[in-house]
């Protein structure tokens, strides 16, 4: 089995919806399993979680974008990952990342760049979205990759939306497509 | 007079529309003038252009986002600015930046970050958009800063749009608001 | 009085040494005072701290670079700053930033870019180091800006060094020069 | 054979020395070949070059850092790559990158981030340096990854140095190690 672990924080539930869609995409690939590790409100992970990361083929990072970067709870996890980093335990695992914020752009790229930077300290191999964007006049948020991330997965959840409303449409389809891609890349890389 | 210079490249005309709206905003401030320097298709600027930059109170950088960064013509200008850089001629001038691309996100943040990085090599003082984003469910592209840039000004121009169609609505209002802010900040800074 | 507030986290003491040198530079400017706010080990700040930020002319952000970004304690503070952000209380305050890490490069630029991104969400005006780098063959770590930051202040503190050993030499001189620049820029901006 | 193509610009020769060391590392891996494509002074590549990129297993990007980003000649190449981009011809090729500048830090990270952003528009899989940094007090520039890049390869070439002097020592050893890693990763990925 190819073993993809999603480690994420979600403050109001929107990023959890995105994480679930990525997991669906992973599970749609034969021979792939998705394990979800949700960080606590204090940015913590139990020992079983850390062990799951150690044995993963791929690790996918997820967080809302708060104040121009990942939530502090995610950063606390990232700082705690200095332990596997010091022994380069995650070296050569596939990496990817996703983020949600209320604003159309809203510095989401900054959060993705942080996930990438973290993955490279760990010696991981980064796999981005791998999809062209939908950007013609007739396109709208129901289209694949209309929100338009390349380096990582982006979704929009308006400030007054509930998690059962947003992310929606194309953002969730794109999340499933990215999950599928991550599982296929991890399977091929595993050999 | 507060003297704000916009130096920009425009490939298909969309970024020029954005530049014009920024200039309108600058000119709406009493005692402020906007000078526009459009880079040639080969990324060049004449001597009068370089002289205008040397005597500017503020320099605003503009380019479409192509392949995840500013157009090469803009980068050629940036590399040629190593001459005023070597004598720190632009030190303490106010700086700002704007970019247009077809995709909603589409790595526009990367172009803004480059403009900022360039400005800091020159020792400039950076002034971002200074506007909250419109990000409620009922908001759309007609609203101020719906596209949602903070560090610099962003606009969307779909891949099949003409420059008289896009950027449009809120993106142009935001451009005018940013021009006004840049002129006011430059005036206050000038003292 | 021009009122510059340094809000920072320090894990092992090296970033505190850097913060102190920035403060010295600020205090060297007539009519300027530096107030230092050290975040707790849990990333917290008391009410007097938040009030000091509200009344500051300039806010300088500082943190070690851990795992490719600011320490989680700093990010917790940044996330908590969504309260003054929601009312744009820090708008038009001068901003700057500094970071320390063990490695010569070691993703310090990523931390500075985060400080900048945060400042732009707050509508602040960014002031970088404003110094050319010392980069000739004969130059070494005793020279001004040899470590070579433009957008923000950088310092090196080797992994086995004590805070009374590193940051040292040119890094501390550069920190003092940056503090002086921040105070002068804040004074001029204040008018 | 695993086919790794290095496409780079070099202004004064220092980046070419770095490129050659990466190529040496690639060639040290059994079954791997390195092809070097040097961009012209006008940022151009001939048809054979573009064809070599189309058939590569891995593409490694290289440029000096000028004014906080890749040289304009490299950006001109990147913009011209919108042709293979439009058909996603480079999708799933391994990607990597390297840069040289005079200053110890000097915004090299910005250039690497651009290479990464470009690669993700192309749907490539990014492979960073994969080495811990040498960052103890006793370490110096003769050590492996003392300059300290994770996301991409960094080297220092002082402003008054000749290409036969710098990059030197540890920077060249690190370049060879990165070339070896890129070839091994490309071989494993090819399957």
Local confidence band at A52 (pLDDT 50, 70, 90 cut-offs): very high
Which chains sit next to B, with 3 or more Cβ pairs under 8 A? A, C, D
**B66 and D81 in contact by Cβ < 8 A?**
no
C73 contacts C41 by C-beta, under 8 angstroms: yes
Among partner residues C73, C107, C114, which is closest to A69 by beta-carbon distance?
C114
Which chains sit next to A, with 3 or more Cβ pairs under 8 A? B, C, D
Average pLDDT of adjacent 10-residue blocks, chain C of 191 residues: 98 98 98 98 98 98 98 98 98 98 97 98 98 98 98 98 97 98 98 91
Residue in C with minimal Cα distance to B153: C120
Non-local (6+) Cβ contacts of C40 within 8 A are C73
**C67 and A76 in contact by Cβ < 8 A?**
no
User: What gap in Å lies between CA A106 and CA A103, rounded to an integer?
Assistant: 5
The structure tokens listed for C38 are 């050290």
Q: Which of residues 105-124 of D touch B (CB under 8 A)?
A: 107, 110, 113-114, 117-118, 120-121
Kind of pairing between the strands at A69-70 and A58-66: antiparallel
Domains contained in chain C, number? 1
User: What gap in Å lies between CA B58 and CA B187, rounded to an integer?
Assistant: 9
Residue B161, min C-alpha distance to chain D (Å): 18
Output the pLDDT for position C13: 98
Reported as type and span, the H/E element at residue A98 is: strand A94-101
Q: Which of residues 7-36 of D touch B (CB under 8 A)?
A: none
List CB contacts (< 8 A) between A114 and chain C. 68-69, 110, 114
**D117 and A151 in contact by Cβ < 8 A?**
yes
Q: Is D125 on the interface with C (CB under 8 A)?
A: no
User: What gap in Å lies between CA B139 and CA B131, rounded to an integer?
Assistant: 15
List CB contacts (< 8 A) between C108 and chain D. 105, 109
Output the pLDDT for position D9: 98
Which chains sit next to C, with 3 or more Cβ pairs under 8 A? A, B, D
Q: Which of C64, C79, C52 is nearest to C110 (CA)?
A: C64
CATH of the domain at A120: 3.40.50.360
Q: Is C79 on the interface with A (CB under 8 A)?
A: yes
Strand partners of residue C181 = none
Q: What's the pTM value of the predicted model, to 2 decimals?
A: 0.99
Output the pLDDT for position D42: 98
Output the pLDDT for position A14: 98
Query: pLDDT digit of tens for each residue in chain D (191 aa)?
Result: 999 999 999 999 999 999 999 999 999 999 999 999 999 999 999 999 999 999 999 999 999 999 999 999 999 999 999 999 999 999 999 999 999 999 999 999 999 999 999 999 999 999 999 999 999 999 999 999 999 999 999 999 999 999 999 999 999 999 999 999 999 999 999 99
Non-local (6+) Cβ contacts of D180 within 8 A are D25, D26, D28, D29
Peptide bond into D167 cis (omega under 30): yes
Q: Residue B31's Cα: distance from chain center in Å?
A: 20
Q: Which of D126, C13, D2 is nearest to A115 (CA)?
A: D126
Among partner residues D103, D149, D151, which is closest to C148 by beta-carbon distance?
D103
pLDDT tens, A64-112?
999 999 999 999 999 999 999 999 999 999 999 999 999 999 999 999 9
Complex ipTM over 0.95: yes
Output the pLDDT for position A181: 98
Q: At what angle do helices A14-27 and A169-190 cross, to 10 degrees?
A: 50
Q: Which of D14, D37, D80 is nearest to B73 (CA)?
A: D80
Output the pLDDT for position D167: 98
List CB contacts (< 8 A) between A107 and chain C. 117, 121
Residue C149, min C-alpha distance to chain B (Å): 9
User: What gap in Å lies between CA A180 and CA D58, rounded to an integer?
Assistant: 23
Kind of pairing between the strands at D125-127 and D94-101: parallel
Output the pLDDT for position B178: 99
**A135 and B103 in contact by Cβ < 8 A?**
yes
Average pLDDT of adjacent 10-residue blocks, chain B of 191 residues: 98 98 98 98 98 98 98 98 98 98 97 98 98 98 98 98 97 98 98 91
Residues spanned by the domain of A23: 2-190
List CB contacts (< 8 A) between A151 and chain D. 116-117, 120
User: What gap in Å lies between CA C58 and CA C186, rounded to an integer?
Assistant: 6
Residue B35, min C-alpha distance to chain D (Å): 24
Q: Is A148 on the interface with B (CB under 8 A)?
A: yes
The structure tokens listed for D168 are 């030197």
């Amino acid at each position: 089995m190819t073993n993809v672990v999603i480690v994420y924080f979600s403050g109001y539930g929107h990023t959890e919806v995105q994480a679930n869609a990525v997991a669906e995409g992973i599970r749609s690939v034969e021979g792939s399993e998705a394990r979800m590790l949700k960080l606590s409100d204090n940015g913590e992970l139990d020992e079983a979680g850390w062990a799951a990361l150690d044995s993963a083929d791929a690790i996918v990072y997820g967080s809302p974008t708060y104040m121009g970067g990942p939530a502090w709870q995610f950063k606390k996890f990232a700082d705690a990952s200095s332990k596997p980093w010091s022994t380069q335990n995650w070296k050569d695992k596939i990496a990817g990342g996703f983020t949600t914020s209320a604003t159309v752009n809203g510095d989401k790229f900054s959060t993705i760049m942080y996930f990438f930077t973290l993955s490279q300290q760990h010696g991981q191999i980064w796999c981005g979205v791998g999809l062209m964007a939908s950007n013609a006049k007739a396109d709208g948020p129901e289209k694949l990759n209309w929100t338009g991330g390349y380096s990582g997965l982006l979704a929009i959840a308006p400030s007054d939306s509930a998690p059962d409303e947003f992310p929606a449409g194309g953002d969730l389809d794109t999340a499933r497509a990215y999950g599928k891609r991550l599982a296929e890349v991890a399977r091929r890389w595993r050999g």
